[in-house]
Structure 1
């Protein structure tokens, strides 16, 4: 399977941190290995840059699954984005949020870990299994599995087209 740039980045990022299996995928472990501070509060989750350091603030009233998903979203802002979203053009803010959401799906359920599971169907049992393995919500696991399955289908179609052209 070929990887997108994002999938490559996520695999390299986690490998550099020594996170190579789903049991190590949790925000406390990642934050610790990055030297990133995480705080809990009543407000919406967000990443802040204060005095030369990044901090992630997670809503303390959310489920552990929602906090993990939010952490990965906010981690994208830490890794890739600059600027105060409150003072940027709305379309650019929307673009950053779109990118952070895409990163979130790949960071919570990385392709390199997903493909080791040899998933070959899209049943509710498989989705529940992904939900448990990667500590995400059911709808989140469903959407990520759909992304992954669609990519596999597109690769098969591309490979068939390439073979037919020879």
Structure 2
């Protein structure tokens, strides 16, 4: 199946929350996740279906954060997560961001971020409510050097 990545629109909001519900990341707004800024979201479209979505936030002149990244289970393994992540990283880089942080509670996701993007652990953050894995009470905070990643990507 082919997919393409595009900026999200207001019409995609319900579909994005539907995707995040598979991963218990749909409690929005909440103390864990404020209202979504769809101008900072990308979706993966497969025909007329949104197969995945990812969002980011620019925190300061040099720091950005990925906020949500989720794929419909039936579309896992197609590379959608990587395509969405890279779209978010390029958008943040174009906005002047140098470093990106993210919080996750899934071991396989931590390993994925480290392997593909050079993230490293910088701390733990206690969860404020049930979000993502219900049996994990803290987030692992990861950081990456976005400039380094983009330079390596351009050299390929």
User: Of Structure 1 and Structure 2, which has the larger fraction of its residues in helix?
Assistant: 1
Give the alignment's TM-score, normalised by structure 1.
0.31
Give the alignment's TM-score, normalised by structure 2.
0.32
User: Of Structure 1 and Structure 2, which has the larger fraction of its residues in strand?
Assistant: 2
